[in-house]
Amino acid sequence: MKRLLIITALLALLLPVQAVGTDAKKQYSSPRRYPAEIECAINRDIQKADSLVKAGKPDEALTFYKKSLKSKDSLYNRITTSQMEEILSLYNMDKLTLQKEQRRNMFHQICLSISVIIIFALLLFNIHIYRSRKRLQKDEKEMRRLTAIAEEANEIKSRFLTTISYNIRIPLNNVVGFSQLMTEDANLSEDEKREYSGIIQSNSAELIRLVNNILDLSRLEANMMKFQLQNCNVQEWCNELPCLVQMRSEGSIHLELVADTGNAIIHTDVSRLTQLVSGMLLYPVECKRTRIVNMQLTYNPETQAINCRIENSPLTDPAFSSQKESISHRINLLFFEHFNGSYRVEKSGDNPIIYFTYPTLTT
């Protein structure tokens, strides 16, 4: 019965553990005492209480039980506080370690970012160097090509000047020579004077034509030629061309013209176009030999252009080949290209064929 009362009292004392913790701290919470010493003291009190219970002194045993319970509560609080402090210390250490790792990771990320930026900058620099080198190589290649073209052009120009000087010198010498002869020789007959005058006139005309061709070529190459542009009906222009050729050739050139151009209209310098086309149909030098020239003009609605084909042209006859004919071909090419057309000479047997195109406005 006494043991039952003691156990009941102990259970009642276990409930208000926090309320009785203050007295236990005053007795056992000395900063110099360690948990092991406190635990030994509690065990001694419990042993004394057990001895008093066996001796039949429950009231005295109850006091030791209360004292031991208070001591245990104080010990548990102290252990809990110590563990909490240790946990807090570990938390702070982990927090500091985490912050250190975060700073280290941030430093690594910064270093990595800087490395990536440097690598990217180096890559861009290498690409720029590569492109610059390619551009320099391309410019150098283009410069070599232009230099070769310039040297070739200079050589062609030198040959051209040499040849053209010879072609100019001959008629000029004839004009000067026969003029002096007519002036200084008073014994010339009327027939001789008429003959010399004819020679002077023909050479003067040849000289003027040659100089005009050279000037036209220079203007076309410099894109400084002035044109008097107007609309021209191709079919009407073709109707007048055979009579013009017949008159200028004095009947030696017979033009067989086939024109199927409909109502095609071109915008051009009619006088200049007529001069160039008639130059393809007439003899480049004085010749009375009868010649048949075939000319065909057609309208191509797909390309919106007039296509022309000239066969047996005196301008392409090898018998009349000279520097003057080369100048005429060059002038024709530049003229048609100026108006977005084309001009070419294709070899076909003994006498090449002339082809040229000219764009139309309306049909």
Mean pLDDT of 203-212: 82
- The residue among 196 and 322 whose pLDDT is bigger is 196
Tell me: pLDDT of 48 over 80.
Answer: no
Confidence at 163, pLDDT banded by 50, 70, 90: low
pLDDT at 9 over 60: no
Residue 8 has pLDDT above 60, yes or no: no
What confidence score (pLDDT) does residue 324 get?
76
Return the percentage of the chain with pLDDT > 90, whole number.
26
* 317 or 18, greater pLDDT: 317
CB under 8 Å, gap of 24 or more: what pairs does 27-34 form?
Answer: 27/70, 27/71, 28/71, 28/74, 28/75, 29/74, 29/78
CA separation for the pair 85, 351 (Å, rounded): 116
Longest Cα–Cα distance of the chain, Å, equals 191
Residue 357, strand partner residues:
307, 342
Average pLDDT over residues 100-106: 91
4/244: higher pLDDT:
244
Residue 274: the pLDDT is: 92
pLDDT at 131 over 80: yes
pLDDT of residue 23: 41
3-state helix, strand, coil in the chain (%, to 5): 70, 10, 20
Query: Residue 27: its pLDDT value, please?
Result: 40
Instruction: For the chain, give the mean pLDDT.
Output: 80
Whole-model pTM over 0.85: no
Query: Quick check: 5 pLDDT over 50?
Result: no
Pick 33 or 17 by higher pLDDT.
33
Residue 35: is its pLDDT beyond 70? no
The tens digit of pLDDT for each residue in 285-310 reads 778 888 999 999 999 988 899 999 99
Tokens (6 digits) for 358: 């000219």
Percent of the chain with pLDDT over 70: 83
Superfamily grouping for domain 227-359: Histidine kinase-like ATPase, C-terminal domain (3.30.565.10)
Q: Is 275 exposed, middle or buried (0-12, 13-18, 19+ CB in 10 A)?
A: middle
Per the structure block, which two tokens stand in for 307? 């296509």
